[in-house]
A and B are shown apart, each in its own frame.
Chain A
């Protein structure tokens, strides 16, 4: 029963950051989107990435989840580089985090059940009866009913798509969850309940969460830390109160607008 991965066991006070981004640079053509970017995220944190349109949030997220190879620098997940070392090793790393895409990215040819079962089946280790039990468990976790399992993605509402997509992201028991605009396109009510769901699951499953969001309510309700992305790097990184002290036009506009004040007031209350 020797270990497949050499990662240290996740004990208390584990010094290895879940995500370590060092000196990251990304260039599209002649244009540097990110340059000399450093970011460390420790276990159990919920980090919100914020930044203006075109500031490279999505690029950074796509580098953390391994969809983009950085031009320079590197991204380490659980202390290991994302790229190199063969297909088996890369796959083992990638199975340790789940991604929730902005539009859900559910496979439209598969129903809800098969969508959630897909990553489990790809493991080729579990039998169908166990997969069935696990899929039902994930459905219950995201507060969907067993009868929703047979629906096709086209029959789902926006909120349900997010939930199914979250269930799929959770199906391989990830330690890290990456969320791209988790509440975009949801009405305030649904958005609130989705945020509550993510928060309760984070506590239940001891997840580390990185989310990209524009929504101040989501940001204030979920995150333990905020990373502000501007001028091609992380401009400020810390708790919301700390970040708000930083003098920068973007931060000022983002947090000190009327909207920002309202969102913050509701979380303090």
Chain B
């Protein structure tokens, strides 16, 4: 190591013989800004010097010292002061602090055995907390419903109408576009296959059943979960972060009645309408592709559709719309109310809300498929 004058900002470390003993002489600036520049070389040099136990350390020549510099020495010395060391009075305080920190760390070492078991346990408890919260939310919704039956004047009409507009009307362009495109693709691909068997007419059966019964409701639910569900979670989450929900509670406004109830009701109303709208768009798209690909005219398509698709399918689709709407809104509100006042929690809960809503919708769809297996399939 080079040794330079005290005015230059550099670190000095020299090995010298004095009175028959070996002395490590420290000087210069032992601060983070300076030692950081060549920390590896310093650590190696210090370790080499500290290797001999009877080394005498002379730290009195240090001009500036901070805890990083002290920490380097402390580590080289094996976390204790060496037998022979010369320190400036104010530097002794730093080493006293280091010793105190080590003592505190010693006390704090707790057992971390079975870490995986703890993690699994935490996961199970977390799931349980989610379920309890969700059941509480459902119960609160039912209580609100009963309350409004007794006091219909307190129905939050404005909020319901605002949510209907946001979740329903605003979603119409995107759902129609996606439905229309899916209809075209489905019809085009199916017609290629059907033509091989000469079964052209069955395109109407396939599109009618597939879109009305299955694809329409599912498509809308997934789009709405991503679009409206995430917005609901984020909105409630931000209201939690900014303590708006607490403010409402303090004013005697029930958060479930004013925030959750309108969202759930509005989505349960908007979804069946969106299902009809999207299904219609998808059928129009499919019809268009069938006309180009198989020469099936629009008039024939519309004449045949009611004959091959029993009306029961439409009721199933509407019921699915209502149920999916309830599910998406309840899941969104559940996660929104779980947001804790920090940014990380907000983003993770919004993600969870969308993922859970889509999963729940697909699960419900499977239940519908089993429960209605005897309805509307001729």
By a beta-carbon cutoff of 8 Å, the part of chain A in contact with chain B is: 1-5, 7-11, 92, 95-96, 108-109, 123, 125-127, 130, 133-134, 136-141, 145-147, 152-154, 172-173, 204-205
Q: Is B64 an interface residue (CB 8 A)?
A: yes
- Provide the main secondary structure of the chain A interface: loop
Q: Is the CB of B68 within 8 A of A204?
A: no
Selected A-B contacts with CB under 8 Å, 20 pairs: A1-B1, A1-B37, A4-B9, A4-B37, A5-B33, A8-B7, A9-B8, A9-B29, A96-B33, A109-B343, A126-B36, A130-B75, A133-B71, A137-B67, A137-B97, A137-B98, A140-B100, A173-B32, A204-B93, A205-B66
The CA-CA distance from A173 to B110 in the complex, in Å, is 30
Interface size counted on chain B using CB atoms at 8 A: 44
Segment touching A, from B101-109, B166-174, B307-315, B319-327: B101-109
Across the interface, B71 reaches (CB within 8 A) one of A10, A11, A137, A153, namely A137
* Residue of B1, B6, B105 contacting most chain A CB atoms (<10 Å): B105
In the A-B complex, the 5 residue pairs with the smallest Cβ-Cβ separation, listed nearest first, are: A146-B108, A108-B342, A1-B10, A3-B9, A140-B101
The CA-CA distance from A204 to B344 in the complex, in Å, is 36
Q: Is the CB of B104 within 8 A of A4?
A: no
- A/B pair count, beta carbons within 8 Å: 103
> Given contacts A108-B343, A136-B105, A137-B67, are A1 and B2 in contact (CB under 8 A)?
yes
B42 to chain A, nearest CB (A): 10
Across the interface, B64 reaches (CB within 8 A) one of A8, A9, A136, A147, namely A9
Across the interface, A141 reaches (CB within 8 A) one of B1, B97, B343, namely B97
Q: Is the CB of B63 within 8 A of A133?
A: no
The CA-CA distance from A204 to B67 in the complex, in Å, is 10
The CA-CA distance from A126 to B107 in the complex, in Å, is 26
Q: Is the CB of B9 within 8 A of A5?
A: yes
Instruction: Give chain A residues whose Cβ lies under 8 Å from the Cβ of B67.
Output: 134, 137-138, 141, 173
B1-27 to A contact mask, C-beta < 8 Å, 1/0: 110101111110000000000000000
The CA-CA distance from A5 to B94 in the complex, in Å, is 25
Instruction: Give chain B residues whose Cβ lies under 8 Å from the Cβ of A145.
Output: 104, 108
Q: Is the CB of A125 within 8 A of B8?
A: no
In addition to A108-B342, A152-B342, A173-B33, 12 A-B residue pairs with Cβ atoms within 8 Å of each other are A4-B37, A9-B6, A9-B29, A95-B33, A96-B33, A108-B343, A123-B36, A130-B71, A146-B105, A154-B342, A173-B66, A204-B94
Closest to B98 in A: A137
B41 to chain A, nearest CB (A): 10
B79 to chain A, nearest CB (A): 9
Across the interface, A147 reaches (CB within 8 A) one of B1, B9, B11, B108, namely B108
Q: Is B340 an interface residue (CB 8 A)?
A: yes
Q: Is the CB of B7 within 8 A of A9?
A: yes
Q: Is B293 an interface residue (CB 8 A)?
A: no
Instruction: Give chain A residues whose Cβ lies under 8 Å from the Cβ of B4.
Output: 1
Q: Is the CB of B75 within 8 A of A1?
A: no
Q: Is B341 an interface residue (CB 8 A)?
A: yes
B65-107 to A contact mask, C-beta < 8 Å, 1/0: 0111001101100000000000000000110011011001101
Instruction: Give chain B residues whose Cβ lies under 8 Å from the Cβ of A152.
Output: 342, 344
A44 to chain B, nearest CB (A): 13
Q: Is the CB of B93 within 8 A of A3?
A: no
